[in-house]
Every structure is written in C-alpha cells, then in structure tokens.
Structure 1
Amino acid sequence: MKNNVRTAVRLGALTLTAALALAGCSSSDDSSSPTASDTPSTAETDGESGELTDVTLQLQWVAQAQFAGYYAAVDQGYYEDEGLNVTIQEAGTDTVPIDVLAAGDADFAISWVPKVLGSIEQGTNVTDIAQIFERSGTTQISFKDKGITTAADLAGKKVGSWGYGNEWELFAGMQKAGIDTASGIDLVQQAFDMNAFLSGDIDAAQAMTYNEYAQVLETVNPDTGELYTPDDLNVIDWNDEGTAMLQDAIWADADRLASDSDYADTAVKFIKASIKGWVYARDNAQEAADIVTAAGSTLGTSHQLWMTNEVNKLIWPSTSGIGTINQDQWDQTVSIAKETKNETGATIVSTDPPATAFSNEYVEKALAELEAEGVDVLGADFTPIDVTLNEGGN
C-alpha cells in the first residue's frame, strides 16, 4: 500500500459499500482530477515546480466535503500564495494515512487522533501540528420508538459498531454509563452503510453527523411515503456525553520537523493556507461543496452541501483559533485511549504518548500571520446554513 496509493484510490471507488464508515463517505476514481495523486512527494520532486515547493497531502478517504478546506485552498490559490504546489492524494480502503506519511510517500496526512496514537506507541514518529476538527462528528442514532436517549439506554440493546478504530467513543460512553460492554449489550458488527439500521436489525447505529445521519434523512419512510426527518430519530452525541475524541488533524513527520528547517517552514505555510481554505468553506459553503464536486466527488448535490455545513460545525466557532490543539481535549482523547476497552478487551495505548505527539508551535505561527492579515480564525459569529436534503442526497 505504501508504494501504490493510486491503485488504492481506484480500489476505494470500486469498494465503496465496504468502506463508507472509515471516514464517513462516498468515493471517486477520477485520477485525472487536478488534485488527484499523480505526483510523488516533496523529497522526490523538489525544485521541479520552479519557485513552488511540491507538497503531497494524504487524505484518510476520497474526495468529499469532509476535506473541503484543502480542496478550497487549492482552488482559490491559497497554497500557491504560500509558495506551495499541493497535490491532494486520496485514500483507498486499505490506506493508513500515517503509514503513507511515515514511509515518505506524503509530506502531511489527515487522520483521527486515536487512530494515530496506537501507531505512535508502536514507534511511528509523527506530530499533530494542527487540530482542524475541534468537535467529534460521531453519534449513535436510533428511532424514537426504541426509547434510547442516553448511553445508559443502550443496555440490553442491539448496538451497531463499525470497529476498525471507529468504536472508541461508543465504548467509552457505554462504560462511563456503567454498562458491561462484554455482556450488557448485543453488539452487532455494523456494515459500512445504514441498511441494517433501516431494516430494524440494529437498535442504535453509528453515524457521522456529516454522512450516515444524512443518509437516513435521505431515505423514504415506508410508513409515510415521505423522507425521514430528525423528529423520527434520537441522537446520542458523544460531545454531550463527555467521551468525544479528537478527529481530523494535520500530521507531520516528527523527525523531519526536528532536522529539516525547510520542512518546518513548509509546515507553517501549509497550515496557514489550509486554514484559509477552511475559512473559505465556512463563509462560502455552497461554493466549497461545488469545488469538492468538481475535484471528483460523486456525492449528490444536497448531500455534499449537508456535509460541508456539518463539517463547519465541527470546526466553528473555534475556542482558541482553528487548528489549535487544546490540552483538555487532547488529555480526554488520551485518557479514553488508555482506559477504554473495545469488544476484544483491548485499549488503544497502554501509556501516555511522547511530547512530540502534538505541537502548537507551527499552527500558532500560522495563526499569527493570518490574524495580522485580518483573517477571522475564531469564527465566533459562525451560523450554520439550512440545508434541504433530497432523496438519495441528489
């Protein structure tokens, strides 16, 4: 996989149904897109773009509005303004972004913090240099007639879980509520779609706010002939339950940060331009959704806009400036990673990660430059838009 990312992207398009929940989404095999992964990393092409520095960003899934800020930064020329020629490299079903980064096949990567903590404990030396998502987008949803409104209500129920590193908030929430997750629930291996939930085989299913939750709302209720509505559902939000974990972050190679001043400078420039892309997506949701569609996403029009809007809610308003790693949220993520056991009885890590696991040094430099330019990096006045979903997300 490390040396064959383009193949994995094509495979990801062919096996969409088997991987939706890995990053909550839809797929594309448009490798002719101007941001598709046809170029190697900086180390292999440095200087071939004239005055621009070649940079490869490894996503954790395919083109979709979960990554709208990066696509907007390409489209709006923000990376070029910082002297960067950025290639966005999509992922396939078997792509591990941090492995791609560690192998030198990308300069930066997007991944959830808990998924990377395990790699760090196993010896991968990477650093979270910008925590783009401040809030978790993972929920557990159920139909109202199940009477499930809190984690405690999951006791004795058929509980869906994707696994593959997506289950930690769910298990932390149940264990915090006093449920013996080894015997107190009927754990169901949830497929990467909502079919089992819609058919009644799962009482409470995992759903990302920006994807699977919308998939239900895009489905016709056979009892009414109309689309399901939020009034038909109960939602357990792990942010409210106190077991949310940090998700989409920008990761860099820790060894290169320490030894290569040019790479460290590039990290600041990359963060700065990426944040400008996310500010654009915040203030121009429809345009950002259209940019992602043009980049190759196959999601429907209303679903793409829904995703842009919901992802914006995970970022804005920002407590300390977009990208800042807040110590309390980091500590909560690490605590859950050390103490929560999944269905196999395993935890993510056994000890605290090293100090190099995250750093605000680079994002703080980027934020200072942006604020000097008058860019709003807090989004205190952010207001989500109203999105009307159509059947099938079209």
Structure 2
Amino acid sequence: MSRRPMLSRRPLRVFAVAAALAVSVAACTTTPEGGGSDTSGGGGAAAGGNQKVTLQLQWFVQGQFAGYLAAVDQGFYTDQGLDVEIKEGGVDIVPQTVLAQGQADYAIAWVPKALASREQGAGITDVAQVFQRSGTYQVSFADSGIASPADLRGKKVGNWGFGNEFELFAGMTGAGITPATDVTLVQQQFDMQALLSGEIDAAQAMSYNEYAQVLEATNPDTGQLYQPSDFTVIDWNDVGTAMLQDAIWANTERLSDPAYQETTVKFIAASLKGWAYCRDNLESCRDIVVKAGSTLGASHQLWQINEVNKLIWPAPSGAGLIDQAAWDRTVQVARTAVNADGQTVLTQDPDPEAFSNEYVQQALDLLKADGVDVVGSSYQPTEVTLNPGGA
C-alpha cells in the first residue's frame, strides 16, 4: 500500500484560538490573576454579583472541553452564581501547576500527570473524574499485522512522551516486550503524519482527535477517505492498562475553607450539566466549540465531542464520581510501568487527600434534584461522518 502524508492537517501545537464566549477564553499567564489564591471561594465578586472563577484547561480549546464551554454558553455557571473564565492550555502550560500556584481556581488534567505533580509537592485534589475511560489508542495499518501489544515486537512504535506513554509501555511490558530493546521507539509529533507516510508502524492517538485525523485523510489507493477497516486499533481499556484521564482538580489547601467547598460543588454541578447537555445536544456543542475559536473543523469537532461522550457516558454511579477500582489501576500502572528512561510516574502511593468524592456527590445530588440525568443509561453514540481535513 502506498502511504503518503496527509497534507491538509496542521500540527495541533501551532494553531491560535480566538475568544468568542460570553466570558473570556484566555491563554494562561504567569501572573496570578482573578484572586486564585483568594480563600473566599473564588476570585471575588464579578459584575452582577456572581463569583469569579477561573478554569485552566490542559490543552487548546477543542471538543475535549465541550462541557465546560457549553456550561458557559448555556448559562449553567451563571445559574450557580459563578462567572467562569476559561483559560486555554498550550505547549508550555502545566494545568496542575497553574492551579497549585494559585493562578486558577480549578484545572483539567490527566490523573497520572497530576499525581506526579502532587508527589512533587503540588497541593491538588481530584474532585470530579469526568472521563471514566481512557481515550488513548495505538493505531496501525490493517496490513501491518499489529492487532495486540505482543505484535509490536520488532516494530517502529511512535509515542508522544511527556507522560502520555505509560499505558503503551505497561501494555508492552505485560505482553512480554521490553520497550527499550524489543521495539524501535520513535518520538511522535502530535499528528499522524509519521504513520500515514510509513515512517512508523504504530502511532499513538486519542480516540477523539488523532484517530479522526487518519480518517480525514485521503487513501491514495482509492482516492477516497480512509475507513476504519484500513486500520487496527489497540485500546488500552481492553488491554487492562488504561489510566484515568481528564478530571477536575481543586486546590487541596483551599478545600479546608467552607466558601471554596461551596464554590467547588457549584462549579462541578454546572460543569457536569454542561457535559449532560453535550451528551443530548451534540450538534449544538459542536457549534459552541467552533464559535469558541477552534480551527480543527466542524466535522472533526463533532467527532471529537461524540468520542468524548463515550468516555463519560453511561456513568452508572453518576458522572464524575471516582471509581476506586479505576483509580487503583491507574496508581498501579503509575507505580510499576517503566518508560524508555527507566522511570515510573509515581514512586509511592498517593495520600488519601489525592481524591475526594465528597464534592462531586453533593453536585450530583443538586443536579438530580433539578431533574438532570447524571447517569445517561440510555446514551447511544452518534454515527459521525468526517469530511476531508475535518472541515
């Protein structure tokens, strides 16, 4: 099969985001603002008497964060008396550090990365586990013979590094592969060009982002877009090395303050209502994300929100509740999986204050009393048709 690079995609690390929300979506600065270190519950009163709150995202504005954008757009935060500013992430922004340094009131971060920061002294607590499942794949062409971690032996295996690689390394180790010697490890860019050009045999991808990129590319053999049947996917949820990802993190020290506790419950409730809205109003949330400034394209954003919904719904115990078994598995992989540098994510088990279900449970009780479906037992994903380049 002839494999050429996908020319229509731009690297995900370089696009700019325009602010187009009722509140500002701004790049994070290194200057404390909004009173993130204020212990009054948020950043002080905003115009109209609402409590000003800042949320730090872990990446650029995209469908991965649709629920928070929808909560702004639909007035769910305002209904809770909050004026929320969403700060977009980027290459050099570590959201849990921004939070720990008092430059935001809450942050979205993957659990293993945040726990590593906590082990190093960051005072942060997981207060709502929004993504219940991992969205990380390892993607190969179907004719590569790669259908399981064991098949990666002797192959050129791409990964992003930066702490994103531990599910992959745990999966290979569990299959009897020594990553440092049994495969050729390749530092992969945050796109799928290396896979499509044949430079690597297996590429790291998020189900809601990079995997869509290969399906938005033209197959030179057919002149049509690639199809899922052209690829094989290793899903770490199936392998058993999946780690918890996007969660809402709060400042541990400030959680001793009743005002911040109350704000935390309100913020979680409005955020989860935003995710319930995106579950039930997929196209509306696509439009909200596009309006917020993402340049990834409308069909790409529709795919992304649809795939993210699969990571959240259904939520049998209630959206955002932290499942102890999933937490323990994440910690175990973080303690035992060794990357190419011989490092593990964690050197010891996190302390009991690393997560709490107290605030998310109160938020769920508020939502249920308001008639919001926080379980989504009847949720069914939508069949999304991708356009060339995600347009």
TM-score (norm 1): 0.92
Is residue 375 of structure 1 aligned with residue 333 of structure 2?
Answer: no
Question: Secondary structure, in 3 states, of the residue corresponding to 2:47?
Answer: coil
Is residue 17 of structure 1 aligned with residue 14 of structure 2?
Answer: no
Shift of 1:50: 3.8
For the 8 Å contact 1:35–1:295, the answer to whether it is kept is no
Identical columns (%): 59
CA RMSD of aligned residues (A): 1.4
* Alignment match of 2:16 (pick from 19, 28, 35): 28
Shift of 1:72: 0.4
User: Which amino acid counterpart does residue 312 of structure 1 have in structure 2?
Assistant: N
Structure-1 residue corresponding to 2:3 = none
Shift of 1:28: 3.1
Cα–Cα, structure 1 residues 389 and 115, in superposed 2: closer, same or farther, change >3 Å? same
* Alignment match of 2:183 (pick from 178, 185, 203): 185
Is residue 316 of structure 1 aligned with residue 313 of structure 2?
Answer: yes
Q: Distance in 2 between matches of 1:150 and 1:355?
A: 35
Structure-2 residue corresponding to 1:244 = 242
Q: Distance in 1 between matches of 2:55 and 2:264?
A: 11
Q: Distance in 1 between matches of 2:358 and 2:209?
A: 33
Q: Deviations over 1:7-38 (max 9, x none)?
A: xxxxxxxxx7273xxxxxx8433146533128
Structure-1 residue corresponding to 2:258 = 261
Is residue 169 of structure 1 aligned with residue 167 of structure 2?
Answer: yes
Task: Looking at secondary structure, tell me which structure has more helix per residue.
Answer: 1
Question: Secondary structure, in 3 states, of the residue corresponding to 2:53?
Answer: strand
Question: Secondary structure, in 3 states, of the residue corresponding to 1:183?
Answer: helix
* Alignment match of 2:304 (pick from 281, 287, 307): 307
Structure-2 residue corresponding to 1:95 = 93
Q: Deviations over 1:98-127 (max 9, x none)?
A: 111011110000000011111111111110
Q: Distance in 2 between matches of 1:142 and 1:356?
A: 40
Structure-2 residue corresponding to 1:196 = 194
User: Which amino acid counterpart does residue 295 of structure 1 have in structure 2?
Assistant: A
Aligned length: 372
Cα–Cα, structure 1 residues 188 and 209, in superposed 2: closer, same or farther, change >3 Å? same
User: Which amino acid counterpart does residue 89 of structure 1 have in structure 2?
Assistant: K
* Alignment match of 1:125 (pick from 123, 126, 134): 123
Q: Distance in 1 between matches of 2:165 and 2:26?
A: 30
Shift of 1:185: 0.6
Higher deviation after alignment, 118-127 or 48-57: 48-57
Structure-1 residue corresponding to 2:30 = none
For the 8 Å contact 1:268–1:362, the answer to whether it is kept is yes
Which consecutive unaligned segments of at least 5 residues does structure 1 have? 1-15, 20-25
Structure-2 residue corresponding to 1:224 = 222
Structure-2 residue corresponding to 1:233 = 231
Q: Distance in 1 between matches of 2:234 and 2:43?
A: 47
* Alignment match of 1:75 (pick from 73, 77, 84): 73
For the 8 Å contact 1:41–1:56, the answer to whether it is kept is no
